[in-house]
Amino acid sequence: MSRALSLLAALGRSVMAFLAAVGRVTIFAAQAISHIFRPPFYPKELGQALLSVGYFSLPVVGLTAFFTGGALALQIYSGGARFNAEAVVPRIVAVGMVRELGPVLVGLMIAARVTSSIAAEIATMKVTEQIDALVTLSTHPMKYLTAPRVLAGLIAVPVLVGIGDVIGVMGGYMVSTGRLDFNPATYLQNTVDFIEAQDVASSLVKGAVFGFLAALMGCFYGMHSGRGAQGVGRATKASVVAAAVLILAANYLLTELFFSA
Amino acid sequence: MIGLRDIHKAFGPKKVLQGIDLTVPKGESMVIIGGSGTGKSVLLKCILGLVVPDGGTITLDGQDTAQAERDAFLARFGMLFQGGALFDSLPVWQNVAFRLLRGSLRKPAAEAREIAISKLRRVGLKAETADLYPAELSGGMQKRVGLARAIAAEPEIIFFDEPTTGLDPIMAGVINDLIREIVVEMGATAMTITHDMSSVRAIADRVAMLHDGTIRWTGPVSGMSESGDPYLDQFIHGRAEGPIEAVR
């Protein structure tokens, strides 16, 4: 009986800890959003964050999308051949990249590259008292560190997703026309004909949400880092895991929202 | 004048401050001494609002700091952090002129840079240092840059958190002398926390000893040797034997 009660108590503590964490993240997100709209603004920090999140992520996003588009074309061709449906390759590559793989892969690459970098940078600033120094210099850390990075995630990641979608489709096109003997003009025509405005809109909205989540998790775990090198390491690891899981969960919810009948 | 009345602060079960009463008159250099982990840094952070005390009142010129307008309050302070706390991503001159490049004290970049270079010269650094990044500086140079940043906006009150920790004795002496000169020259109120007795003798007008979460002794620096307080006596002479328990 007492063992059952202690198990129940442990379960209760876990649930309470989870709910408390959700509450802390929600409050942090609300503060981050409110600081985006309230002065003072730091355009130089926003510019640097846009470069870091957007421009410097282009190579990794481009390569990921290109190889995924190519592999997708090979897989669909191979699978479609089982029931003589090879012709669907351009359509499925297009819809698969734009609706799902483009936003999700870009989101996960941003979580790996940007979330970890933000969390490590802010956590290091915290353990070396740079955050305290900001406060004593009359600068709000949420405004100076969090708001520009979160806004950069919101702006830059949809653009990266758009570019990733195009490069992914082109990866499928190059493999299909180079390796699988598809007619280039027909392939492109099929792609353009099959993509709808809603596909593109969902892709960009997913990009904005994923960018927000990735930057937010980096800032949240950085700001709440423990002491020393171990604290920075834990914050970085936790931020990437949380961002990746939230991106995948948000992807499901957004897909339900856009495409459920 | 800074006034602390019955300040309490605990972190979980650990009671760090247990009723601090202390007054720092305007223009005075107060040094707070005490062993590691006795809450000296927490006390400074409570005054600045970086840590919220569990109880008690902190006043600045008679006004409760909890009610003060935050930016105006912080604009009166400068702080030299233990590790320098320089911003890695900014060159030295932008670190020094940080406050002058944004907010209510904002100045044109060229003017802010000139002020930064003059403050760097004041702490004994050449103008060429201005364009270096903190990672390119030695520990002593980082302390000097931190000092230049603390005085850049000419604050009324300056806090120094372990200003000589990690420095060799000669560099520590240089930093101590600089602090003393700058505080006298600016007429600033200074609060320094340290356990380096050479710093205490070089910087302090008055000394307060923090032990077991309370102010154990306070008085003029010249009165430390004849205080008759066994705790202070043990501390200033660095004895292992005495009322302060030393972990071996």
Tens digits of per-residue pLDDT, B149-192?
Answer: 999 988 999 999 998 888 888 888 888 988 898 889 889 999 99
Question: CA neighbours within 13 Å on the CB side: how many for B94?
Answer: 12
- pLDDT beyond 80 at A242: yes
With a CB-CB cutoff of 8 Å, which residues 110-139 of chain B face chain A? none
Query: Looking at residue A1, what is its pLDDT?
Result: 66
**Nearest neighbour of A133 by CB, restricted to B71, B85, B103:** B85
Tens digits of per-residue pLDDT, B56-111?
Answer: 999 999 899 988 888 889 989 999 998 889 999 999 999 999 999 988 888 999 99
Identify the residue with better confidence: B18 or B35: B18
Q: Tell me what the pLDDT averaged over chain A comes to.
A: 94
**Nearest neighbour of A129 by CB, restricted to B83, B102, B103:** B83
Burial zone of A217 (CB within 10 Å; 0-12 exposed, 13-18 middle, 19+ buried)? buried
Per-residue pLDDT averaged across A41-66, rounded?
95
Burial zone of A37 (CB within 10 Å; 0-12 exposed, 13-18 middle, 19+ buried)? exposed
Query: Looking at residue B238, what is its pLDDT?
Result: 84
Which amino acid is it at A107?
Answer: G
Which amino acid is it at A173?
Answer: Y
Map out the domains of chain A as residue ranges. 43-259
H helices within chain B, ranges in order?
40-48, 70-74, 92-96, 109-122, 139-151, 169-186, 197-203, 230-237
What is the band of B245 on the pLDDT scale with cuts at 50, 70, 90?
A: confident
Say which residues have a Cβ less than 8 Å from residue A176's Cβ, sequence separation at least 6: A73, A77, A89, A90, A93, A182, A187
Residue A81 contacts B, CB cutoff 8 Å: no
Question: ipTM score here?
Answer: 0.89
Measured in angstroms, the CA of A221 and the nearest CA of chain B are apart by 19
- pLDDT beyond 70 at A261: no
Identify the residue with better confidence: A176 or B165: A176
Query: Looking at residue B28, what is its pLDDT?
Result: 92
**Nearest neighbour of A139 by CB, restricted to B77, B85, B103:** B103
Contacts of A132 in chain B (CB under 8 A): 45, 50, 81, 85
Per-residue pLDDT averaged across A204-226, rounded?
97
- pLDDT beyond 70 at B230: yes
Query: Looking at residue B247, what is its pLDDT?
Result: 53
With a CB-CB cutoff of 8 Å, which residues 74-93 of chain B face chain A? 74-75, 77-79, 81-83, 85-88
Question: What SS3 state is found at B147?
Answer: helix
- Best of B80, B98, B162 to substitute, by most chain A Cβ atoms within 10 angstroms, is B98
Residues of B139-175 as b/e, b for ≥16 C-beta within 10 angstroms?
Answer: ebbbbbbbbbbbbbbebbbbbbbbbbeebeeebbebb
Percent of chain B with pLDDT over 90: 60
- pLDDT beyond 70 at B248: no
Stretch among B2-6, B9-13, B125-129, B195-199 having the lowest mean pLDDT? B195-199
What is the band of B219 on the pLDDT scale with cuts at 50, 70, 90?
A: very high
Q: Token pair of B88, please?
A: 């890695």
